[in-house]
Structure 1
Amino acid sequence: MDFSLRTGLVGLIAEIEGTLISNRTSVVLVLFDGLGTQFLDERTPALVSHWASTLRAPFPSTTTVSLATVATGLAPAAHGIIGHLLWWPEVGRVVNMLKFVDLSGSAVLIDNESVLPSPNLWERLRAGGCQSVTVQPADFAGTPLTRTLYRGCRFVGAGTIDEFVEQTVTAAGVPGTFVFTYLPPVDYAAHVFGPGSAEVAGALTWVSSVWGAIVNRLPAEVVLMGTADHGVMPIPEEGKILIRDERYRPLEFWGDPRAVMVKGSARLTRELCDLTGARLVEPAEFVPWLGDGHAHHHLASRLPDAVLLAQPGQVILPWGFDKRLVGYHGGLEKIEVDIPLLVRG
């Protein structure tokens, strides 16, 4: 496959889909959550040795947006998931798209299987005579996010390094199968302990071991690639800008702490921009960042009036946003959007 003209996940999925349907060759894509190119260094020689090129994560650079792009082959504007926290007009609340709860933590009941457009990638592959398997942490089985993303894809749970490797290799043994293996440890460690932490170093060793074993065990005729959904920016405590002034209560906030979406008074939004030092981005500029394709039928109602892009090293944390973390993402800085493409030669 030729990725020389491809710059992101949409192009990568298009190449994979075409290869599967035309050649009936099995393809394995390993997605390392949070593994921006910042982590490809002396700590990860098994990954660096297969680093073929650098892709760009979709905007906003966050897990739910990127995974929806993988699951559909569409840009965010077309699949409709445009943030970690998303204004959901059908229920009149901001919804955490990882957990499907609102900002108070209350469950939001949504028909998860209808969230993404039809047909999704897995359904198109099935119509083309191929099958799809996703290998995920076993405790992700049946969650709202899993039901949202993997409609039409067979879920296989795993826990240990050996289980992830065995399930991936076994699934790929059936010709014409797309195996999507998802590894979350780096993202978790980088969020909670910071990108430079010993915990991240341990997570990098763990995912490198999975990758190395899959490289060694997969038959040569199986295409093996790896990528990520975003990178992670370290944020010091002094970089956390908490919005707690009651005069901003009339504004509605969603999105990500590095790219906060705002709806409401233009005057208050500009005032908040001045207070935080963020860059104020109007729809004419940020909507094209969401990519091409036929716009999702709910896109217009989910769009904000403006986006506040936080300065490097800072996050903006309105009520309900998570202030506990050490690493964040969602913006447009290189450390957030540069993701590797790994290819076994």
Structure 2
Amino acid sequence: MLPAAPDYRSGSLASVLPAVARSLGSSRYATVPGLGLGPADRAVVVLVDGLGYEQLVRRSGHAPFLRANLDSTLRLDSGFPSTTATSMGSFGTGTPPGQHGLVGYEVLDPERDLVFNELSWENGPDPFRWQPTSTVFQEVLLDGVEVTRVGPGFFDGSGLTNAALRGGRFRAASSMADRVSAAVDAVKASPHALVYLYWGELDKVGHVHGPASWEWVDELESVDRHLSSLATRVPAGTAIHVTADHGMVDVPFAHRVDLAGEPDLLTGVRHVAGEPRAAQLYLSPGTTPAEVVQRWQDRLADRAWLGTRDEMVDAGWFGAVRPEVRDRIGDVLAIMLDDGAVVDTARMRPELLRLRGLHGSVTDEERGIPFVTVAARTV
């Protein structure tokens, strides 16, 4: 059985930027849930890729700055699937996946019958057409809030950035120390500012070594030190908010089902996309979802939940779904409930097959994300 679907109205990553915009006095977000935020002149929103709530609580002894704010930290839901591309869409637009349309790591472009990667955007469609909704950054600019986005230079103008995070100016900075300095400079430059700061290092370490590794803990300590530095350097009237796009689970290699050796599972399946922990299957003409669901369920048993697009949409896993987004979602979804995954050694790159930490599914470890707020300084 699947757990309850995300509450996209007030308890998910999609709530973060609208609530921050409201705290900055944006008239466009005056009626959204405020997540308990007080008013601020300026705000820095830090998204730490891969910082799951469960992992943070478990390892909070290694993160004194975050631990000091843990009692007031909210546990939000990343949404589904719990993957970066989808989460960035929810974060940037303040809407659920069924509205912004970034519904997976790999998804089908129905117009071209082509699967593309929404993270790299290689061979992807026009990002402005694929995701036409205004972002929160674009909206608050109209209220006179100065918006600056800080991250690695290759993000500037990328397909995912243009689809999910457009608006304001972009400041490229490589190291975490440089990103903190760029964020501080940006927030000092305007009396009414929203600065977005992205950190991806923790996610990379978690994928390679696993979220329970000492390497992950070392990286968390580094993140915590830089967050503490940021908090001491921003001017008065600046609130700092820290959140994440998803958590992560450790997936032993012995617990992975390889489609390259399971030809029966591919019978009637035109495309396999999604994530190793939340596969989305697009079926061949004449194949019914029920027969694929039964075949996959027999193979995976209680390790996974198998269901149809209609079931997932009706249960609210994608929020309200625009008509043009519906066919981007797989006809059948295979959602892992244990510490397993579905991979394909005939199709996936070796470096992806070697990753230990994975995400995308519906477990607490993957969906739970923190929302940490450091109240605006008065002096």
TM, length-normalised to structure 1: 0.90
Match of 1:58 in 2: 79
Q: 1:200 aligns with which of 195, 199, 216?
A: 216
Cα distance in 1 for residues equivalent to 2:156 and 2:215: 25
Cα distance in 1 for residues equivalent to 2:329 and 2:372: 34
The amino acid that maps onto 1:119 is: S
Match of 2:298 in 1: 274
Match of 1:33 in 2: 49
Match of 2:18 in 1: 14
Alpha-carbon deviation of 1:297? 4.5
Cα distance in 2 for residues equivalent to 1:320 and 1:120: 34
Q: 1:48 aligns with which of 61, 64, 67?
A: 67
Provide closer, same or farther for how the CA distance between residues 296 and 271 of structure 1 changes in structure 2, counting only shifts above 3 A. Answer: same
The yes-or-no answer on 1:122 pairing with 2:143 is: no
Contact kept in structure 1, 2:76 and 2:370, CA below 8 Å: yes
Match of 2:175 in 1: 160
SS of residue matched to 2:230: helix
Deviates more, 1:86-95 or 1:23-32: 23-32
Deviations 1:139-177 (A, max 9, x none): 333333223333223111112232111111111121222
Provide closer, same or farther for how the CA distance between residues 151 and 134 of structure 1 changes in structure 2, counting only shifts above 3 A. Answer: same
Alpha-carbon deviation of 1:269? 3.5
Cα distance in 2 for residues equivalent to 1:138 and 1:183: 13
What is the root-mean-square deviation of aligned Cα atoms in Å?
Answer: 2.0
Contact kept in structure 2, 1:193 and 1:200, CA below 8 Å: yes
Cα distance in 2 for residues equivalent to 1:268 and 1:110: 29
Alpha-carbon deviation of 1:109? 4.6
Q: 1:254 aligns with which of 262, 273, 282?
A: 273
Provide closer, same or farther for how the CA distance between residues 263 and 139 of structure 1 changes in structure 2, counting only shifts above 3 A. Answer: closer
Cα distance in 1 for residues equivalent to 2:174 and 2:240: 21
Q: 2:359 aligns with which of 315, 329, 340?
A: 329
Gaps of 5+ in 2: 1-8, 28-38
Provide closer, same or farther for how the CA distance between residues 153 and 250 of structure 1 changes in structure 2, counting only shifts above 3 A. Answer: farther
Deviates more, 1:179-188 or 1:302-311: 302-311
Alignment of 1:103-252 (within 5 A): 108-173=123-188, 174-244=190-260, 245-247=262-264, 248=266, 250-251=268-269, 252=271
TM, length-normalised to structure 2: 0.83
Match of 1:105 in 2: none
Provide closer, same or farther for how the CA distance between residues 10 and 149 of structure 1 changes in structure 2, counting only shifts above 3 A. Answer: closer
Alpha-carbon deviation of 1:261? 1.3
Contact kept in structure 1, 2:52 and 2:369, CA below 8 Å: yes
Alpha-carbon deviation of 1:24? 7.5
Contact kept in structure 2, 1:164 and 1:210, CA below 8 Å: no
Match of 2:30 in 1: none
SS of residue matched to 1:280: strand
Q: 2:331 aligns with which of 305, 308, 324?
A: 305
Provide closer, same or farther for how the CA distance between residues 284 and 112 of structure 1 changes in structure 2, counting only shifts above 3 A. Answer: closer
Deviations 1:184-223 (A, max 9, x none): 0111011111112232122212211221111111123111
Cα distance in 2 for residues equivalent to 1:229 and 1:150: 13
Deviations 1:209-263 (A, max 9, x none): 2211111111231111101011000000111111123341531221111111122
Cα distance in 1 for residues equivalent to 2:124 and 2:86: 20
Alpha-carbon deviation of 1:90? 2.2
Alignment coverage as a number of residue pairs: 334
SS of residue matched to 1:299: helix
Contact kept in structure 1, 2:100 and 2:133, CA below 8 Å: no
Alpha-carbon deviation of 1:75? 0.6
The yes-or-no answer on 1:74 pairing with 2:74 is: no
Cα distance in 1 for residues equivalent to 2:17 and 2:109: 27
Contact kept in structure 1, 2:41 and 2:238, CA below 8 Å: yes
Provide closer, same or farther for how the CA distance between residues 290 and 178 of structure 1 changes in structure 2, counting only shifts above 3 A. Answer: farther
Alpha-carbon deviation of 1:291? 4.2
Cα distance in 2 for residues equivalent to 1:81 and 1:61: 12
The amino acid that maps onto 1:125 is: V
Contact kept in structure 1, 2:55 and 2:365, CA below 8 Å: no
Provide closer, same or farther for how the CA distance between residues 43 and 142 of structure 1 changes in structure 2, counting only shifts above 3 A. Answer: same
The amino acid that maps onto 1:335 is: E
Contact kept in structure 2, 1:72 and 1:116, CA below 8 Å: no
